[in-house]
Amino acid sequence: MSSHFPNRILSIILLLVALGCSKAKRSENAGIKMQDFVIHISEYARKISPAFKIIPQNGAELAFKTMDSENEFNQKYLNAIDAFSVEELFYNGNYTPDNERINILRKLKPQKPLLVSESVNDNTLIPAAMAANLTEGFVPFVRNATNYNYTQIPDSVPNKNSMDIVSVSDAKNFLYLISTENYSDKLTFLNDIKKTDFDLVLIDLFFDDNSFTPEEINTLKTKMNGGKRLVICYMDIGSAEKYRYYWKKSWGLHSPYWIRKKYEGYPDEFWVNFWKSSWQKIIYGNDESYTKKILDAGFDGVFLDNVEAYYFLYYNG
């Protein structure tokens, strides 16, 4: 055996460590850019509508400096948002608590409201999933296996009340209904939501390819029992979706260059270099931007999905 073999092994180990450190540093830098992105979306929207709500989904570690929950809070980021939302915290099919994220959310609980969407593969688990979150002071939405893609309105509303909901912290429950695939027409979709008592309703900006109007959104802002509620709009800021109005036929992976990486499990989506100005102009800052369309439609706020793109650009392959 060559006497140089151990040295080669050591060199490989050092290279792997260096590559890991490089990925971590690039991910951290991208995390800072995502914090700035969310802050800028918030600043833009609130100049137009000061009470506009900003709710990022997942990526709760962005609330901390360098995305490390052992560090102090990024106060500018916290000031820019109204709540945190996460998915599959205690249940991902079965009971599989994500203790790392649970501990992060416990630290965040005094700062902002926490909305949690759980997924169960058996309806008998719904009460336990509700209880796990309510015990922590989190606001739960529990969907079963047939509702994994947020296509259905649950039969019951937890903690139903007739209060007027002005801020996200007032909400005792929420409806997550971003898919319209079960509805053949817009009117039925709107009427089904109107007949509920959810405090906060999360829907998409579009039914098929048509944006909801301010008049339509306004009809959703009153619960069936008469209390006022918030209507929040879904927007993906970390990945580009081929079925959105902004997508061009010539686009694909690396074209434009900021369409960076395939989104595993979602064939019509791609992770993007979200800090690039071409992408950010699609999202906010001008009259043709996605955020402005949401504001024009009369929504009370926006739900920012895939803020954790900063991580997935450099990890998971």
Q: Which domains does the chain have, with CATH numbers?
A: 11-312 (3.20.20)
Q: Is the pLDDT of residue 38 over 80?
A: yes
- What confidence score (pLDDT) does residue 314 get? 85
214-223 CB contacts, 8 Å cutoff, 24+ apart: 214/296, 214/297, 214/298, 216/186, 216/190, 217/297, 217/298, 217/299, 218/298, 219/190, 219/194, 220/190, 220/193, 220/194, 221/300, 222/194, 223/162, 223/196, 223/197, 223/198, 223/199
CA distance 269 to 262: 7
| Per-residue pLDDT tens over the stretch 143-186 | 999 999 999 999 999 999 999 999 999 999 999 999 999 999 99
CA distance 298 to 300: 7
CA distance 175 to 142: 9
Instruction: Residue 97: name the closest of 123, 135, 71 by CA.
Output: 135
Q: What is the band of 89 on the pLDDT scale with cuts at 50, 70, 90?
A: very high
Taken as a whole, the chain contains a residue count of 317
- Cα 296 to its chain centre, rounded Å, is 21
β-pair partners for 202? 176, 232
CA distance 14 to 8: 10
| Per-residue pLDDT tens over the stretch 273-294 | 999 999 999 999 999 999 999 9
Determine the residue type at 144.
N
Q: Is the pLDDT of residue 4 over 70?
A: no
> Are 110 and 78 in contact, with CB atoms under 8 Å apart?
no
Q: Is the pLDDT of residue 3 over 50?
A: no
- What confidence score (pLDDT) does residue 109 get? 96
Q: What is the band of 315 on the pLDDT scale with cuts at 50, 70, 90?
A: confident
Q: What is the mean pLDDT of residues 37-63?
A: 98
Instruction: Residue 242: name the closest of 233, 251, 234 by CA.
Output: 251
Cis peptide, bond prior to residue 256, ω within 30 of zero: yes
Instruction: Residue 43: name the closest of 310, 284, 289, 308 by CA.
Output: 284
| Per-residue pLDDT tens over the stretch 184-242 | 999 999 999 999 999 999 999 999 999 999 999 999 999 999 999 999 999 999 999 99
| Mean pLDDT, rounded, of the chain | 93
Q: Is the pLDDT of residue 17 over 90?
A: no
CA distance 21 to 152: 43
- What confidence score (pLDDT) does residue 207 get? 98
- What confidence score (pLDDT) does residue 6 get? 58
Instruction: Residue 199: name the closest of 93, 53, 88 by CA.
Output: 53
Total-model pTM: 0.92
- What confidence score (pLDDT) does residue 19 get? 43
Instruction: Residue 301: name the closest of 128, 143, 115, 63 by CA.
Output: 115
| Per-residue pLDDT tens over the stretch 256-272 | 999 999 999 999 999 99
- What confidence score (pLDDT) does residue 24 get? 79
Q: What is the mean pLDDT of residues 74-101?
A: 98
Q: What is the band of 136 on the pLDDT scale with cuts at 50, 70, 90?
A: very high
Q: Is the pLDDT of residue 8 over 80?
A: no
Q: What is the band of 9 on the pLDDT scale with cuts at 50, 70, 90?
A: low
